[in-house]
Amino acid sequence: MSPHLLSVDSLSRERVDHLMRVAARMEPIAQRRQVTRVLEGAVLGNLFFEASTRTRVSFHAAFCRLGGSVCDTTGFTFSSMAKGESLYDTSRVMSGYCDAIVMRHPDQGSVAEFAAATHVPVINGGDGPGEHPSQALLDFYTIDKEFARLGKKLAGAHVLLTGDLKYGRTVHSLIKLLSLYDPMRITLVAPPGLEMPSHLIDLVASRGHRVEERASLADDYADVDVVYTTRIQKERFTAEMSEGFSLSRDFTVDRAFMDKRCGRDTIVMHPLPRDSRPDANDLDVDLNGDPRLAIFRQTDNGIPVRMAIFATLLQVEELIEKDLRPV
Ligand code: CP
């Protein structure tokens, strides 16, 4: 088993199932109904060279909930990479200070390059348009919990992925993770030029799933169980793509879309952040308060899932049971 979590490629269905079970056991600790100090004395290096709220803070909180401490650096300006230090040197140095490292970086493959230089577990917190495996795990945990609440099964489910499927690393990791499970139907709807990379479509189809690309949300999606929408990642556009790009309302998930096109128990997910600027046409705030909107249940799930990732990578999951104490 890889000591790192860099890509969903390193996960088997059995390992995902195990992480889901460990995450469920972490819930009382995540909600501070129980306390453990199992990682007391351990230090997490939280290195974020690209903007983040959820991933950075929830990894930090998850490590603290297990009793550990966190050192962090945010942005290139406040790290010695601003002075030309390489990923290799940064990795070797941080390995002497930390027991685990979470890293986000704008370049695809950079977290794997960093991980190759260290013996401590490294978690990919997002490498450019590459992957975001911990997000896929918390997304999957959310789908599992929502389906249990709704009496639904994953096998045969219909999942709609929409938004920026080209640069959205969360959907790249999620589609790979879903493909480990029994055949389901996956519909992809992206604006022109932002379609899911063909190698991922081919991978999922080769594992027996029915994958269909559609050009617009103006269709009937009554049998869709999950609508997973993503922000348009304009920061990753080339200058040519940026020129004149504006997202039509036809790609917006809002109350009208949900009421007219989807079912009463279709859940809506988004990795967040959602872009609230007027012309962004991201997931509409008119769904706030709608029980189908699972986005804040999804963010809450980030803590137990990230605790489970630490517990398994640092091999303390069995110790936690013995160390549990009341608040
Ligand atoms: N979902 C996610 O990665 O959010 P942040 O960019 O805020 O970490």
Domain ranges of the chain: 8-131+302-322, 133-299
Distances (CA, A) of 245 to 169, 234, 322: 20, 9, 56
CA dist., res. 180 & res. 226, Å (int)? 17
Mutate to test the pocket of ligand 1, among 139, 164, 230, 272 (most ligand atoms within 8 A of CB): 272
Average pLDDT (286-312) is 98
Average pLDDT (231-236) is 89
Closest residue CA from atom 4 of ligand 1: 54
pLDDT band at 172 (very low <50, low <70, confident <90, very high): very high
Residue-level pLDDT at 126: 98
Distance 186 CA to ligand 1 centre (A): 23
Ligand 1 contacts (CB < 6 A) are 52-56, 126, 132, 135, 271-273
Which residues partner with 278 through β-bridges? none
The CATH code that applies to domain 133-299 is: 3.40.50.1370
Match 């200058």 to its residue by tokens.
239
Quickly list H helices, the chain.
13-30, 54-65, 87-95, 110-115, 133-150, 169-178, 198-206, 239-242, 255-261, 295-313, 317-323
Q: Which of 129-133, 181-185, 233-237 is least confident?
A: 233-237
Distance 197 CA to ligand 1 centre (A): 21
Residue-level pLDDT at 78: 87
Mutate to test the pocket of ligand 1, among 46, 52, 123 (most ligand atoms within 8 A of CB): 52
- ipTM comes to 0.99
Question: Domain 8-131+302-322, what fold?
Answer: Rossmann fold (3.40.50)
Q: Which atom of ligand 1 is nearest to the CA of 132?
A: 3
How many residues appear in the chain?
327
Q: Which atom of ligand 1 is nearest to the CA of 126?
A: 3
Distance 187 CA to ligand 1 centre (A): 24
Question: Do β-strands 69-74 and 100-105 pair in parallel, antiparallel, or remain unpaired?
Answer: unpaired
Question: To the nearest whole number, what is the mean pLDDT of the chain?
Answer: 95
Residue 240 has pLDDT above 90, yes or no: no
Residue 1 has pLDDT above 70, yes or no: no
Residue 135 has pLDDT above 70, yes or no: yes
Residue-level pLDDT at 119: 94
Distance 220 CA to ligand 1 centre (A): 30
Distance 322 CA to ligand 1 centre (A): 33
Mutate to test the pocket of ligand 1, among 55, 174, 230, 283 (most ligand atoms within 8 A of CB): 55
CA dist., res. 259 & res. 263, Å (int)? 7
Closest residue CA from atom 1 of ligand 1: 271
* For the chain, percent of residues with pLDDT exceeding 90: 89
Closest residue CA from atom 5 of ligand 1: 52
* Digit-coded pLDDT (tens) for 85-103: 999 999 999 999 999 999 9
Residue-level pLDDT at 25: 97
Which residues partner with 186 through β-bridges? 159, 211
Alpha-carbon 194 to chain mean position: 19
